[in-house]
Amino acid sequence: MPFPPGDMVAALSRHLHFQSLEQALLDRHPEVAERVVFDDTNRLMHLKLTLSAGRSVALAQVRMGYGTVWCVMPPELDSEPSVWPLNTPGEVLVDALHAAASARITGEAVASPWRWDESEPSDMTELADLLDGRDLRVRRVVAGNRWSAIGPRHAAKLDIAGSDDGSFVEVEFPDAFVRVSLKSAIGWLVDVYVPEVEAWGRVDLAGHLWGTTSPAPGVPRTEASVAEIADVLGKGLKAWDLEVSVGPAEAAAPDWLEGLDVGLDGLDEDSSPVDGRRSLSPRELTDAVFDQLTSYGFGDVEEGDAETPIRSRTFHIEWHNRVKNLSTSEVQRLNGLAAAAGEYVPKRLIVLTTAGISRPAADFADTAKAFVFFVDRTTGRLMGLNSRAREAGWPDTDPATQAQEPW
């Protein structure tokens, strides 16, 4: 007897998987047994819980973008589905299906954490609940489940949050879009996108919590409770005294550089083209970098002089203009210089480089709590090269594409 073709084996496997999900749903939620339907008659095999008037909430595998995902689909065509990766445990999938259907049966909101497409309570779901209780519109929560559908069901796009984004909550205010992040290396961040200037800014959390600006981005998780973060957000945009990043090209030059024709230590003095594009002058480059460091939340950086263009009481800032990538030994050497630069306590290291960095060197930089940024000499823009520096950067979310309707 010939072995069945691959497509038949795959179909049988999917059928058996759905049968196991059906049984898990019946075992975990026997009170809805009469509403459970496993439909394998259509091309889109699905498990559903019937509601009323022919409506239902369904669980199915759906092609979205370049991948296939699990979707819990509400009956409303203009609502966004709940999206889960294919390796999600079966009990999580059937509990998500049950939570969505139960809310519609009872006429109540989907219970937390399921309403945020999360299977376990976390700092992020707790924060989302608190903000929702303040009548703020929570648009997205990312913690255990990093997969999200952007937009309504009939035109949903898959978005998978990167590890450097940490866990986060996205909130829509009347006059701004806000992302509250909790990142492994630097802690809490509150980033605000202001549509009027089409730019990101960062809330001085330490200043609002304790009245003292932090020298580095972020507030450690152990030093601020979820309720305290919610209280800061509740104050709103007008109370945050926001420093908005308007972009390197629009920043003004430092006063001490006006009229001077000097180069930065380690950087060329001319503005010769790079890949056919004009390289910024040292004055322009310094200004662009200074603007971004301050907007990121490096609270004690200040304008220096020709020899040390950007200074900090906490950080030793090294300008590194080389073709060769930074090695571990080079980062160790620079970290030693940073430690020795402190008058009473060792300074931490910030490296601004026009090259790259090896993976071991980046790992060492993280261990040393250093920040390593690539500097684009044609724009002055910074890009994090180690995880701590990447965490300090702006979200890559485009708020204009994030429009969603809550369940």
Q: Tell me: the pLDDT tens digits for 164-204? A: 899 999 999 888 899 999 999 999 999 999 887 788 899 99
Query: Do the Cβ atoms of 165 and 371 come closer than 8 Å?
Result: no
**Is residue 386 in some structural domain?**
no
What does DSSP say about strands 315-320 and 348-353: parallel, antiparallel, or unpaired?
Answer: parallel
Residue partners of 325: CB distance under 8 A and separation at least 6: 355, 356, 357, 358, 361
Q: Is residue 289 part of a domain?
A: yes
User: Do both 206 and 164 map to the same domain?
Assistant: yes
- The CATH number of the domain holding residue 375 is 3.40.1350
H/E/C letters for each residue in the chain?
Answer: CCCCCHHHHHHHHHHHHHHHHHHHHHHHCHHHHHHEEEECCCCCCEEEEECCCCCEEEEEEEEECCEEEEEEECCCCCCCCEEECCCCCHHHHHHHHHHHHHHHHHCCCCCCCHHHCCCCCCHHHHHHHHHHHCCCEEEEEECCCCEEEECCHHHCEEEECCHHHCEEEEEEECCEEEEEEEECCCEEEEEEEECCCCEEEECCHHHHHHCCCCCCCCECHHHCCHHHHHHHHHCCHHHCCCEECCCHHHCCCCHHHCCCCCCCCCCCCCCCEECCEECCCHHHHHHHHHHHHHHHCCCCCEECCCCCCEECCCEEEEEECCCCCECHHHHHHHHHHHHHHCCCCCCEEEEEECCCECHHHHHHHHHCCCEEEEECCCCCCEEECCHHHHHHCCCCCCHHHCCCCCC
Inside any domain, residue 33: yes
Q: What percent of the chain has pLDDT over 90?
A: 60
User: Residue 243's pLDDT is what?
Assistant: 65
How does pLDDT run across 99-142, given as a tens digit for each residue?
999 999 999 999 999 999 999 999 999 999 999 999 999 999 99
The answer to whether residue 49 scores a pLDDT higher than 70 is yes
Residues 302, 318, single domain; the answer is yes
**pLDDT above 50: residue 262:** no
Q: What is the pLDDT of residue 407?
A: 35
The whole-number average pLDDT for the span 330-350 is 94
Domain boundary (80, 111, 142) is at 111
Q: Is 30 exposed, middle or buried (0-12, 13-18, 19+ CB in 10 A)?
A: exposed
Q: Is 394 within a domain?
A: no
Let me know whether 218 and 170 are in one domain. Answer: yes
Q: What is the pTM of this model?
A: 0.84
Q: 154 and 91, same structural domain?
A: no
In 3D space, the residue among 61, 77, 72 whose CA is nearest the CA of residue 95 turns out to be: 72
Same domain, 233 and 252: no
Q: Is residue 395 part of a domain?
A: no
φ and ψ of 187, to 5 deg: 85, -145
- Domain residues for the domain of 49 are 1-111
Interior/surface letters 6-15, b for 16+ CB within 10 angstroms, e for the rest: eeeeeeeeee
> 131 with 45, same domain?
no
Asked if residue 358 belongs to a domain, the reply is: yes
Same domain, 241 and 257: no
On the 0-12 / 13-18 / 19+ scale of CB atoms within 10 A, 370 is: buried
pLDDT greater than 60 at residue 20 = yes
Q: How many residues does the chain have?
A: 407
392 is a domain residue: no
Q: Are residues 258 and 181 in the same domain?
A: no
Same domain for 156 and 213?
A: yes
Last residue of a domain, one of 111, 145, 164: 111
Tell me whether residue 154 is in a domain: yes
For residue 29, name the pLDDT band (cuts at 50, 70, 90). Answer: very high
- Quick one: pLDDT at residue 268? 43
In a shared domain, residues 352 and 235: no
Q: Are residues 45 and 164 in the same domain?
A: no
Cα 97 to Cα 91, 261, 377: the distances in Å are 10, 66, 51
Q: Which of 143, 221, 224, 214 is nearest to 187 (CA)?
A: 221
Domain count, the chain: 3
139 and 233 co-located in one domain: yes
Out of 188, 214, 247, a domain closes at 247
Looking at residue 155, its amino acid is A
